[in-house]
């Protein structure tokens, strides 16, 4: 068993040695729609997100392109849905996507601008959660620049998420697509 674990760790380190690593933090907003028959109202979650991504650059087919693999922990501040119900949502998110730098096409830009497309899957944590999981797709844009020898990135993503409501509230809330916004800043290593 130890040999298998050591082999897997060595393989992961070998793969990741060809990638850039970024750590981000920021603001996240998500919402869930109330059903037409329920007395409940729409719920909006606001919170903080901390994430990490591996960027596999130099893929060989488009200059400035990178495969994005990573994840995030989203903590949403408690929301009072009714006088008796308060939701406290936390999500673990897994991301996969593609990021394209615009500088190969527009070399006169003063900073490195990028666009990205993302798919992600989130699963909810906690006893007072509203969504047990969520599947989302969308995109975003951002800029990368150097500050004191650090590669800094800032950006925003908009995703369209389809949540799976927990069993206790399936009658009150819809499993419908709603936008999810994320504004982030981070450092690349």
Q: What is the pLDDT of residues 101-150, one digit of tens each?
A: 999 898 898 899 999 999 999 999 988 899 999 999 999 999 999 998 88
Is the pLDDT confidence value at 41 over 70? Answer: yes
CA distance 135 to 150: 33
pLDDT at 119: 96
pLDDT at 11: 59
Q: How confident is the model at residue 159 (pLDDT cuts 50, 70, 90)?
A: very high
Is the pLDDT confidence value at 6 over 70? Answer: no
Residue 32 CA neighbour count, 13 Å, CB half: 27
Nearest to 24 by CA among 70, 76, 92, 65: 70
pLDDT at 109: 87
pLDDT tens-place string over residues 63-90? 889 999 999 999 999 998 776 788 989 9
Query: In percent, how much of the chain has pLDDT > 90?
Result: 55
State the chain's mean pLDDT as an integer.
Answer: 88
CA distance 152 to 140: 16
DSSP bridge partners of 164: 133
Is the pLDDT confidence value at 12 over 80? Answer: no
Rounded to two decimals, the pTM is: 0.84
Q: How confident is the model at residue 10 (pLDDT cuts 50, 70, 90)?
A: low
Answer for the pair 103, 78: CB distance below 8 angstroms, yes or no. no
Q: Which residue has the tokens 């927990």?
A: 166
pLDDT at 21: 87
Q: How confident is the model at residue 1 (pLDDT cuts 50, 70, 90)?
A: low
């Amino acid at each position: 068993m130890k040999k298998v674990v050591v082999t897997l760790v060595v393989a992961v380190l070998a793969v990741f040695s060809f990638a850039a690593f970024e750590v981000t933090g920021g603001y996240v907003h998500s919402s869930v729609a109330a059903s037409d028959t329920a007395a409940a109202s729409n719920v909006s979650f606001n919170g903080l997100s901390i994430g990490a991504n591996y960027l596999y650059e130099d893929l060989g087919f488009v200059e400035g392109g990178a495969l994005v693999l990573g994840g995030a922990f989203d903590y949403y501040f408690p929301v009072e849905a009714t006088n008796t119900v308060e939701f406290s949502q936390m999500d673990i998110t897994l991301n996969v996507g593609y990021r394209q730098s615009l500088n190969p096409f527009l070399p006169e830009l003063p900073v490195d601008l990028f666009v990205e497309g993302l798919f992600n899957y989130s699963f909810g944590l906690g006893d007072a959660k509203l969504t047990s999981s969520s599947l989302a797709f969308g995109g975003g844009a951002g800029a990368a620049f150097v500050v004191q020898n650090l590669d800094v990135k800032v950006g925003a993503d908009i995703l369209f998420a389809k949540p799976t409501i927990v069993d206790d509230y399936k009658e009150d809330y819809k499993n419908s697509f709603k936008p999810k916004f994320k504004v982030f800043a981070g450092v690349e290593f």
